[in-house]
Amino acid sequence: MKDYYFVLWDINMDSGPVSTFQVHEYLRPQLCDLYENDSIFDKFECCLSGDSQRVATGSYSNLFRVFGCGSGSNEATTLEASKNPMRRQVQTPSRPSRSLSSITRA
């Protein structure tokens, strides 16, 4: 069954994934319902920043998650994609937000 993790692999390493990120942990209690309505098979794209220090992946409800890829990084930010400049903030960032203009599509 799908676990709603984002797994980052280096194709040159046979030992296992480089990192594993919990993207949709809040959905774990609803896995049976998601399976029933085929949402369990949804796919989200990802992209890697130009400096390879962050990875972004889509989520539900116009949200996307950005994770730090550096060794020992605990960085994880949830952002909302919206065309409305007056939208309400999803969460209050604990530190200034960084620009994602350097992120390239994987």
Strand pairing category for 63-68 and 54-58: antiparallel
Asked if residue 100 has pLDDT above 60, the reply is: no
Q: 106 lies in a domain?
A: no
Q: 26 lies in a domain?
A: yes
Tokens of 74: 């605990």
Q: 84 lies in a domain?
A: yes
Range of the domain at 22: 5-101
What gap in Å lies between CA 68 and CA 49, rounded to an integer?
10
Strands (E), 1-106: 5-8, 19-22, 46-49, 54-58, 63-68, 76-80, 103-105
Q: What is the pTM of this model?
A: 0.57
Q: 48 lies in a domain?
A: yes
Q: How many domains is the chain built from?
A: 1
**Span 53-79, pLDDT tens digits:** 888 888 777 888 888 887 777 888 888
